[in-house]
């Protein structure tokens, strides 16, 4: 968006955790409330799957140029729920979720806030998927082509995404004869930045925006590069000084252990690393970092299942595991117990693959965006 | 800008007046005050030419995508006058002219309003040239390449131009250590639309905009397609009913005359059309239309020289020529006398070339813009 800034938020990828990534601040979506309740699922009975109907909009590839390729189109997915809507005749409002870096169904299923508030506002709910994520892939819907090189992936930018939302909303309102229905946009994390920017850039389309956990000033030169990781550290330190110290000392501990005879076997056994995984101390440390960071990012006061299934107050739970007398002075066992809160709250895992490259929420494009000022 | 609208304003080109163009409404820049006074020219003595210094800014080709070509740059011209500026330490304001479809020097020399107001505001004056016009030509400054095809000319769009202005202003303020100096943008006609849009789209860069004669709602579906020409008609009719009737009847009169034996020679003689000009009734009618339209567009209350040298209240002068008893009932002579107000106010012309294709103000790119929603 802003010229001259360089976005320093880097996705601390779930599926790839190089140790260098640690120098950057990670970001993942976060929402004020967790998964949609069973009660709400029942109430929105008219929807295809109980929550929404899936639709597609023919979207223009490039909103800002008139080059030959600019007028190409692609199918953009959006989800809609009119269960609570007061209708166009009543100028009932439209709540729009400005989709961020992932499958829109995943975000929709984790944005209970909008479903909970829709009834009292008689709001229409619309969740729009961000271009290049989920099923909203330009270049014929072929992700291999769309992600092939900068000639195609170059159209993945936040300004294009905002223009997509404007085009879709204006067209949808026209089709619903609801041009007078006010629009309020919602989003979390990068999606919250999009919601805030949308209100600023398209004031004639949205009368308001709710931006949750949106680091709109988190750009190079505006905050300290280590502010994100400092906040994570503080999250754990506020639970207990011992918890903070054990985690802080863990990197040297793991390196030292790995260098000792039989150390790698000890680490494999302690952290239940799968036998097929050819791991090193770096990948183990990355795996632990991901646990601390993602848990702090989804440190909700209720049980949740956004990134992984978690108990309420999971950071507190992690520190309780570290501080527990059960593991005595065995710091590796303490670290494992804490990591288990994030990686194995269901208790079903038998071993862990540190190099898991799966991407269940289609987050891949974020790597491209956050290195180019999104 | 706006999605789904089709811009219906078409430049009634000075250098090419096909009769079909008449179906569209023409537009050319118009400013609240005319040429910069001799007094002001003297006062701004520090400037290179008495009015401004010429500078160039390395501008990015595409602000919205990350395609390989997006990061190409070009030299964007801007003119600056710090004669009146109160300086960065006083947070003195910056007045920025958001250049429109032509050579920026031409606009600057015809925007006395900014020069007249700069002293009382202690304002820095900056006039930025619009990409693809004047000397601000992408693709190495080579106009032939830049205008060659849609792959290059596709980067000529109003949204790119607005982003250019934001980038240049932010960089200039930084270089002048004047980040706290408020910016107000100014523009007329399409440049006024740009000024208004700039305030809306970049509220963090400009605290205000003065948009003069800016038809920001003049898009397909929002006004009648003939509203522009209706206003022109009304301009003449408000001077005298006879003036209106003579012009209205002129098209049939010219066609009828052209069809009579010796009629073409009569027209050539009456309108002093150069012997080398192989004209027809259509080109004569186009030439007259241009005179009525451009004169109405520059119907200033003072003598001016924006498009052509003109007296004060030139529409009134045209109607006086038509209503004059000197020409009796000779309607062709009356039309010629009126056209002379626009084409020959200096009295130096000996004959007229109806097919004059010169483009002294570099307006060529407008033909491209106004057929693509600008």
- Statement to judge: residues A256 and A326 lie in one domain: yes
ipTM for the whole complex:
0.80
Is B32 contained in some domain? no
Judge whether B3 is closer than 8 Å to chain A, CB to CB.
Answer: yes
pLDDT digits (tens, 9 = 90+) for A177-202: 999 999 999 999 999 999 999 999 99
Is B370 contained in some domain? no
- Of the pLDDT bands very low, low, confident and very high (cuts 50, 70, 90), residue B358 is confident
Lowest average pLDDT, out of A44-53, A242-251, A363-372, B317-326, goes to: A44-53
Is B367 contained in some domain? no
- Of the pLDDT bands very low, low, confident and very high (cuts 50, 70, 90), residue B31 is very low
Residue whose structure tokens are 């109003």: B158
- Statement to judge: residues A134 and A170 lie in one domain: yes
**A146: which residues sit within 8 A by CB, 6+ positions away?**
A132, A137, A138, A139, A152, A153
Distance in Å, alpha carbon of B225 to nearest chain A alpha carbon = 22
Q: Report how far apart the first and last C-alpha atoms of chain A are (Å, whole number).
A: 7
pLDDT for residue B4: 31
- Statement to judge: residues B203 and B58 lie in one domain: yes
The residue-averaged pLDDT of A266-279 equals: 94
- Statement to judge: residues B86 and B156 lie in one domain: yes
Judge whether A221 is closer than 8 Å to chain B, CB to CB.
Answer: no
Nearest to B67 among A150, A203, A368 (CB): A150
Average pLDDT taken over every residue of chain B:
88
Q: Is the pLDDT of residue B176 over 80?
A: yes
Strand-pair partners of A81: A125
Query: Considering only alpha carbons, which residue of chain B is nearest residue A162?
Result: B64
pLDDT for residue B90: 98
Is B74 contained in some domain? yes
- Statement to judge: residues A201 and A232 lie in one domain: no
- Of the pLDDT bands very low, low, confident and very high (cuts 50, 70, 90), residue A28 is very low
Residue whose structure tokens are 């960089």: B171
Q: A263-270 vs A241-259: helix axis angle to the nearest 10?
A: 140
The count of structural domains within chain A is 2
CB of A337 closer than 8 Å to CB of A324: yes
- Of the pLDDT bands very low, low, confident and very high (cuts 50, 70, 90), residue A2 is very low
pLDDT for residue A373: 67
- Statement to judge: residues B208 and B231 lie in one domain: no
Is B2 contained in some domain? no
Among the candidates A212, A237, A259, a domain finishes at: A212
Could you say which DSSP state residue B9 is in?
Answer: B
Q: Is the pLDDT of residue B37 over 70?
A: no
Q: Is the pLDDT of residue B7 over 80?
A: no
Is A153 contained in some domain? yes
Nearest to B65 among A3, A66, A155 (CB): A155
Q: How far apart are CA A104 and CA A53, in angstroms?
A: 12
- Statement to judge: residues B139 and B196 lie in one domain: yes
pLDDT for residue B356: 79
pLDDT for residue B64: 96
Nearest to A64 among B157, B170, B200 (CB): B157
- Of the pLDDT bands very low, low, confident and very high (cuts 50, 70, 90), residue B21 is very low
- Of the pLDDT bands very low, low, confident and very high (cuts 50, 70, 90), residue B213 is very high
SS (H, E, C) chain A: CCCCCCECECCCCCCCCCHHHHHCECCCCCCCCCCCCHHHHHHCCCCCCCCCEEEEEEEECCCCCCCHHHHCEEEEEEEEECCCCCCCCCCCCEEEEECCCCCHHHHHHCCHHHHHHHHHHCCEEEEECCCCCCCCCCCCCCHHHHCCCHHHHCCCCHHHHHHHHHHHHHHHHHHCCCCCCCEEEEEECHHHHHHHHHHHHCCCCCCEEEEECCCCCCEECCECCCHHHHHHHHHHHCCCHHHHHHHHHHHHHHHHHHHCCCHHHHHHHHCCECCCCCCCHHHHHHHHHHHHHHHHHCCCCCCEECCCEECCCHHHHHHHHHHCCCCCCCHHHHHHHHHHHHHCCCCCCCCECCCCCCCCCCCCCHHHHCCCCC
pLDDT digits (tens, 9 = 90+) for A306-342: 999 999 999 999 999 999 999 999 999 999 999 999 9
- Statement to judge: residues A70 and A136 lie in one domain: yes
Average pLDDT taken over every residue of chain A:
88
- Statement to judge: residues A299 and A247 lie in one domain: yes
Domain containing B297 — which CATH number?
1.20.120.980
- Statement to judge: residues B254 and B339 lie in one domain: yes
Q: Which of A5, A62, A63, A66 to mutate to test the interface with B (most CBs of B within 10 A)?
A: A66
Nearest to B154 among A65, A155, A163 (CB): A65
Judge whether B139 is closer than 8 Å to chain A, CB to CB.
Answer: no
pLDDT for residue B371: 75
Q: Is the pLDDT of residue A109 over 70?
A: yes
Is A47 contained in some domain? no
Alpha carbon A13 to chain centroid distance? Answer: 10
- Statement to judge: residues B58 and B204 lie in one domain: yes
Q: Is the pLDDT of residue A259 over 80?
A: yes
Could you say which DSSP state residue B140 is in?
Answer: T
pLDDT digits (tens, 9 = 90+) for A64-75: 999 999 999 999
pLDDT for residue A358: 80
Among the candidates A163, A182, A212, a domain finishes at: A212
Lowest average pLDDT, out of A70-84, A176-190, B31-45, B325-339, goes to: B31-45
Q: Is the pLDDT of residue B95 over 70?
A: yes
Q: Is the pLDDT of residue B189 over 80?
A: yes
- Of the pLDDT bands very low, low, confident and very high (cuts 50, 70, 90), residue B34 is very low
The residue-averaged pLDDT of A105-124 equals: 96
pLDDT for residue A33: 37
Residue range of the domain that includes A131:
52-212
Angle subtended at Cα A174 by Cα A170 and Cα A178, rounded to the nearest 5 degrees = 100
Among the candidates A150, A184, A212, a domain finishes at: A212
Cβ–Cβ gap B70/A154 under 8 Å: yes
- Statement to judge: residues B82 and B194 lie in one domain: yes
Domain containing A121 — which CATH number?
3.40.50.1820
Query: In terms of DSSP H, where are the helices of chain B?
Result: 38-43, 104-109, 112-121, 143-146, 150-153, 158-175, 190-201, 227-237, 241-259, 263-270, 281-297, 314-323, 331-343, 366-369
Lowest average pLDDT, out of A304-318, B23-37, B153-167, B338-352, goes to: B23-37
Closest CA relative to residue B13, chosen from B102, B137, B138: B102
Is B146 contained in some domain? yes
The burial class, CB within 10 Å (0-12 / 13-18 / 19+), for A18 is: exposed
The residue-averaged pLDDT of B162-184 equals: 98
């Amino acid at each position: 968006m802003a010229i001259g800034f360089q976005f320093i938020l880097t996705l601390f990828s779930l599926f790839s955790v190089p140790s260098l990534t640690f120098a950057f601040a990670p970001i993942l979506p976060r929402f004020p409330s967790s998964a949609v309740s069973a009660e709400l699922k029942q109430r929105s009975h008219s929807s295809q799957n109980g929550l929404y109907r899936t639709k597609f909009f023919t979207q223009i590839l490039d909103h800002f140029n008139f080059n030959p390729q600019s007028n190409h189109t692609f199918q953009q997915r959006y989800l809609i729920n009119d269960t609570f809507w007061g209708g166009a005749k009543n100028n009932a409002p439209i709540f729009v979720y400005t989709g961020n870096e992932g499958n829109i169904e995943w975000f929709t299923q984790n944005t209970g806030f909008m479903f909970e508030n829709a009834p009292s506002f008689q709001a229409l709910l619309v969740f729009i998927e961000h271009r290049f994520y989920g099923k909203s892939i330009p270049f014929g819907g072929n992700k291999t082509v769309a992600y092939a090189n900068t000639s195609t992936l170059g159209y993945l930018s936040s300004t294009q995404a905002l223009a997509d939302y404007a085009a879709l909303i204006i067209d949808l309102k026209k089709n619903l004869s609801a041009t007078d229905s006010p629009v309020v946009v919602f989003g979390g994390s990068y999606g919250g930045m999009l919601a805030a920017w949308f209100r600023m850039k398209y004031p004639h389309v949205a009368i308001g925006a709710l931006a949750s956990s949106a680091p709109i000033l988190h750009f190079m030169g505006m905050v300290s590069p280590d502010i994100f990781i400092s906040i994570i550290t503080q999250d754990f330190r506020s639970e207990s000084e011992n918890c903070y110290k054990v985690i802080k000392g863990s990197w040297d501990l793991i390196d030292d252990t790995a260098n000792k005879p039989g150390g790698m076997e000890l680490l494999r056994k302690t952290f239940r690393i799968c036998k097929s995984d050819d791991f090193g101390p770096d990948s183990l440390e990355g795996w632990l970092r991901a646990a601390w960071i993602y848990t702090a990012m989804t440190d909700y006061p209720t049980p949740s299942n956004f990134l992984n299934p978690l108990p309420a107050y999971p950071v507190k739970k992690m520190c309780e595991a570290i501080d527990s007398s059960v593991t005595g002075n065995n710091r590796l066992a303490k670290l494992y117990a804490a990591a288990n809160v994030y990686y194995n709250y269901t208790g079903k895992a038998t071993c862990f693959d540190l190099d898991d490259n799966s991407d269940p929420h289609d987050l891949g494009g974020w790597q491209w965006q956050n290195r180019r000022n999104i």
